Chains A and B, each alone.
Chain A
């Protein structure tokens, strides 16, 4: 089983719908992140959490919210999806030594 699991892997939805992307990890890491990948733009940080009680906005948090339900679970929500949120979303965890990120396989979201 993957150390960082994202669900769903693919989702097509309509403008205005609420969407939740879920992430769970078995690595025992405290730090978790949500990134968005767009072609030619690289990865941009949406939200990050260093502890269950710690939530921080990243570079592009507008239109998104997160919930850290437990050390192992970090979910990303789009309250009212819009077409420019069509992207590949990655969850990642980090160790405490060299801050290496461990990525999930990604959730591809299409908003029509």
Chain B
């Protein structure tokens, strides 16, 4: 299987919460990340979590890490149309990030 897996699409209504899930195979990562890519642009770091943490909250964003199941999730509260983008999960090993295929988040008015 792939090193980092995530579903390709998620559709939500404006104002609802979005949850994007990611699983990974290698538990040696020091950091795990969520990047956002808007149309026509490069990726930008949204948030990251240190591997010895279970949760990190940053305004509307909540990252949950389940090390036992090698599962990472990103919750976006009160999703807005401006949150429509591709979200990439990534893990880092020896300063080399490996990315998932990206989840396209579509937000309906």
Query: A-side interface residues toward B, CB under 8 Å?
Result: 4, 31, 35, 40-45, 48, 50, 58, 90, 92, 94, 98-101, 103-106
B66-109 vs A, CB cutoff 8 Å, 1 = contact: the mask equals 00000000000000000000001000100111111110000000
Instruction: Give the Cβ gap from A91 to chain B, nearest Cβ, in Å.
Output: 9
A48 lies within 8 A of B96 (CB): yes
* Interface residues on chain B, number (Cβ under 8 Å): 22
A105 lies within 8 A of B101 (CB): no
Instruction: Give the Cβ gap from A23 to chain B, nearest Cβ, in Å.
Output: 11
A45 lies within 8 A of B101 (CB): no
A103 lies within 8 A of B95 (CB): no
B43 lies within 8 A of A101 (CB): yes
Additional 15 contacts, C-beta under 8 A, given A42-B100, A92-B42, A98-B48: A40-B101, A42-B88, A42-B99, A42-B102, A43-B43, A45-B96, A90-B42, A92-B43, A99-B30, A99-B31, A100-B48, A101-B45, A104-B42, A105-B41, A106-B42
- 12 A-B residue pairs with Cβ-Cβ distance under 8 Å, sorted by A, are A4-B42, A42-B88, A42-B99, A42-B101, A43-B43, A44-B99, A58-B96, A92-B43, A100-B48, A101-B35, A101-B97, A103-B44
B55 within 8 A of A: no
Residue of A48, A90, A101 with highest tally of chain B CB at under 10 A:
A101
Residue of A42, A90, A98 with highest tally of chain B CB at under 10 A:
A42
B33 within 8 A of A: yes
Instruction: Give the Cβ gap from B90 to chain A, nearest Cβ, in Å.
Output: 8
Instruction: Give the Cβ gap from A106 to chain B, nearest Cβ, in Å.
Output: 6
Question: In the complex, what residues of B have CB within 8 A of residue A103's CB?
Answer: 42-44
Question: In the complex, what residues of B have CB within 8 A of residue A40's CB?
Answer: 8, 101
A42 to B3, CA, bound (A): 12
B32-73 vs A, CB cutoff 8 Å, 1 = contact: the mask equals 010100001111110010000000000000000000000000
